[in-house]
Chain A
Amino acid sequence: NAGVTQTPKFQVLKTGQSMTLQCAQDMNHEYMSWYRQDPGMGLRLIHYSVGAGITDQGEVPNGYNVSRSTTEDFPLRLLSAAPSQTSVYFCASRRTGLETQYFGPGTRLLVL
């Protein structure tokens, strides 16, 4: 099993550009989540999904969109990037609630 994979590993964007961060898992997990990590702020939940077609907002959802058309994939879309979205983004998955969560390797995003 590859576990949780994320692409790209690193990305530089200009303010106003859009992009999609990819996340995939091959463990047949129902729950998938996106977090952002900033110095001193810990891991903050952006959006999460409890199954294909079901998503919900986390703590910091503004400026990000998600959808979940398959169990395996959970892409995160930045519609119009802002410097405040410079961060490290982690995707994570777990089989169901109350289970171990596995993190992907992260995507470093720099918005100029």
Chain B
Amino acid sequence: QQPVQSPQAVILREGEDAVINCSSSKALYSVHWYRQKHGEAPVFLMILLKGGEQKGHEKISASFNEKKQQSSLYLTASQLSYSGTYFCGTEYFATGFQKLVFGTGTRLLVSP
């Protein structure tokens, strides 16, 4: 089941902050965040593991609420290069294997 992302789209001016939310109905083992530029493949930003470990980007942070199965991505002091579509991926066990499914994405546009 796909996680639910909000908002669907965000428009920012350079230097402003944004928060993208992701929630799942499944018991999660990890949350992944990716950014995709138009016409390109998604690129890894960050992974948050159950238990609190984070791996990823220097200038972008995220949180993972294991009790609520929710994650948020924090984009601070946005840059033009932050524009793109952000996807959260949620990892859970199904039929004995770890399955990684993605949300419908959040479009972010940063203008000068």
Interface residues, chain A, CB within 8 Å of chain B? Answer: 31, 33, 35, 40-45, 48, 50, 54, 56, 58-59, 90, 94, 97-106
Contacts and interface: CB of A to CB of B under 8 A. Distances in A.
B81 interface: no
Contacts of B64: none
Nearest to A41: B104
A104 B41 contact: yes
B102 A33 contact: no
Given A43-B87, A98-B29, A98-B30, A59 B41 contact: no
Given A58-B99, A59-B2, A100 B55 contact: yes
Interface of B: 1-2, 5, 29-30, 32, 34, 40-44, 47, 49, 55, 87, 89, 91, 94-95, 97-105
Best-buried of B1, B32, B43 by chain A (most CB within 10 Å): B32
A55 to B, nearest CB: 9
A43 B97 contact: no
A103 B98 contact: no
Contacts of B2: 42, 44, 59
A59 B42 contact: no
A58 B101 contact: yes
